[in-house]
Structure 1
């Protein structure tokens, strides 16, 4: 922004008079915004299709379909994966930055558990303590860069598992993940795509996943 544009913006705010407070407030909110990433993962072989992930930020704005599509999952060949439990330090998963949003207050997720198959939904309330973690910069050593960096845990990662389990972590590029919530979602009785797809699910299981589930079943209760 050049000097002329900046001076013009200030003049407009001044001339509007009664809207001056509004101009100042918008600047304040803009200063508080912190970009954050919404990612999704699933245990080995337990493939997930996310119909929608809608976000409500702390300013009560709704960002529909902030996330959708397939969650990050590993399908090791020859049954060498282990879907039971969660990794000690999960990655950021598959997702994207929630453009224009302030920090999250609520995330609604509706997803298809393809291994069962079943459709679930969950309302995930993000506590203020979690947002404080997202705001707080910390020093961390990055192995891949062999250097110390300062960053915040601005990656909100949601693990989705059979049985409607949703587990939530905060992590950064180099900071270890911190668990902030575990939610048991509910079955969406309308089925996949709110009943608009004649009961058909988004994708068939990958061959490795199908072979694992047929041989070993689903480790319910481990998540």
Structure 2
């Protein structure tokens, strides 16, 4: 992907009815992921580097849980009916996205993947349009927007994308097959060393394996 401009040069008028949209990531239970970088190209061909990085949203293992449980309560098979917002942040200064590049470590395999996720105009149109919806958070009918893109990252290099809003049901918009980055983790700068997998996830995979065909 040609990274021709940085976020510091974004001066064009935004076409969305809010100040910023959000980019989030999650992974199936126990299938731990580390996002090395997520770079965004918006509709004006401006590039926003490292619009995402670090840990992703996970139900299991839960933070601060120590030791391997006798019973694994999580189930990594398939995708949730209503995925949450994942771990992420708002992409400020950007217009709506046209393409998202993601490079991540799938720590349970371990492999490093990269994907170029195309965001079609139909998705951007959903992000622009307002929806009148009853919001349980405040018990009122509000005007809401699908202002967030959520990407699920699974072993085998699967990246599935939804668009969602605070009080709106997520809509699945794409499924992308990533490729293995032959350089390995950190673009080959870590001598092949991946981030450590937790004991809980390691124990789950050793007992049950990785349900590749479910994503």
TM-score greater than 0.5 by the shorter chain: yes
Alignment gaps of 5+ in structure 1 = 1-25
Answer yes or no: is 1:72 the counterpart of 2:65. no
Q: Closer, same or farther in 2 for the Cα pair 1:109/1:31, shift >3 Å? A: closer
Q: Closer, same or farther in 2 for the Cα pair 1:63/1:52, shift >3 Å? A: same
Alignment gaps of 5+ in structure 2 = 1-10, 62-68
Q: TM-score, length-normalised on structure 1? A: 0.84
Q: Closer, same or farther in 2 for the Cα pair 1:32/1:134, shift >3 Å? A: closer
Q: Closer, same or farther in 2 for the Cα pair 1:63/1:208, shift >3 Å? A: same
Offset of residue 33 of structure 1: 6.3
1:158 to 137, 151, 166: 151
Rounded to whole Å, the distance in 2 between the matches of 1:183 and 1:142 is: 31
Q: TM-score, length-normalised on structure 2? A: 0.88
Between structures 1 and 2, the one with greater helix share? 1
Offset of residue 32 of structure 1: 4.7
Output the aligned Cα RMSD: 1.4
Give 1:94's aligned residue.
87
Give 2:44's aligned residue.
59
The alignment covers a number of residue pairs equal to: 196
2:13 to 15, 29, 37: 29
Q: 40-49 or 207-216: which moved more?
A: 207-216
Between structures 1 and 2, the one with greater strand share? 2
Answer yes or no: is 1:40 the counterpart of 2:25. yes
Q: Is the 8 A contact 1:58 1:104 kept in 2?
A: yes
Q: Is the 8 A contact 2:16 2:96 kept in 1?
A: no
Q: SS state of the match for residue 67, structure 1?
A: strand
Q: SS state of the match for residue 200, structure 1?
A: coil
Rounded to whole Å, the distance in 2 between the matches of 1:154 and 1:54 is: 18
